[in-house]
Amino acid sequence: MDRMAEQNAVSHGRLYPAGEPFAHHRMSVGDGHTLYVEECGHPDGQPVVVLHGGPGGGCSPFMRRFFDPEHYRVVLFDQRGCGRSRPTASVEANTTQHLIRDIEQIRTTLGIESWLLFGGSWGATLALAYAQAHPGHVRGLILRGVFLGMQEELDWFYGGGVARFFPDYWAQFCKPVPSEERGDMVAAYHRRLFSDDTTLQGRFAVPWLVWENALAGLQSSPVSHAPPDYARAFARLENHYFINRCFLDEGQLLRDRHRIQHLPAVIVQGRYDMVCPPQSAWRLAESWDKCELRLVPASGHALSEPRITVELVNVMNGMRDLG
């Protein structure tokens, strides 16, 4: 969702120039997957890895702009199956555990001992899962729009909870699905997104993407189209992860929080985030002494929400002294 939402971004003079990567990598991670990886900023700077949303959203030049290029060595990559990674839209050997291993391979291949994790939405989920698996290689976490991969969160977004606020958008999301299948929209879309008919996959990929992006920002409005390849990869990957409960035990990221409570963390959370409501961020931060929760007023979910953008830049500027 982050990548599509950038079309609504406005400059407030706070973002750094996008710049160009000083290195590009095509990294084979096994299972037939090759990842696109880029490095930006200062080659000897403080390392930070950017974990994009979705799953399936991919990274973009906009995501480079939150970091002081004179201080940070910024690593961005497209997760399995999306963006410039190949094969596109593939869900084979594509689970949370595979992605955690990929992040570790990127770290070791680039010769990084430890790094900051910067992730929003699904990227926050993945940052938490990776940090809990490899706390010794993490310096701190910067999270936005927290999603914990729990069933209640999926029920909110795909089970009719948020539809109480957006009945018109919800009706459009449900329209392609027969009424008798609307009790489980994730499963209904899964049957079409993973059919043998690629035309049918495309017809259902767009409304899946449109529904999510329509709710991403306070001023967002539905778009009627999206790049077909992007929509297909995004919808298939996200649906694949959600129908499999993000390949996490229910409540796992809260259960295992003790593994990372010694690490500093900042959560930037839109007060009116309709995709990932603030309750999850609150529960994660509660009793985590080194975690600061910043509830941002008049803001929704997207990385490009103006106040969210400014707050994240401020956070990263403040992190420059972390060492």
The catalytic site residues sit at: 121, 273, 301
Pairing of strands 265-270, 72-77: unpaired
> What is the C-alpha separation between 276 and 280, in angstroms, rounded?
7
Question: Collapsing DSSP states into helix, strand and coil, what is residue 304?
Answer: coil
Burial of 17 (0-12, 13-18, 19+ CB in 10 A): exposed
> What is the C-alpha separation between 55 and 81, in angstroms, rounded?
9
> What is the C-alpha separation between 146 and 278, in angstroms, rounded?
8
Question: For 67, which DSSP code?
Answer: S
Residue type, 19: G
> What is the C-alpha separation between 106 and 127, in angstroms, rounded?
14
> What is the C-alpha separation between 130 and 125, in angstroms, rounded?
9
Count of CA atoms in the C-beta half-sphere (13 A) of 47: 16
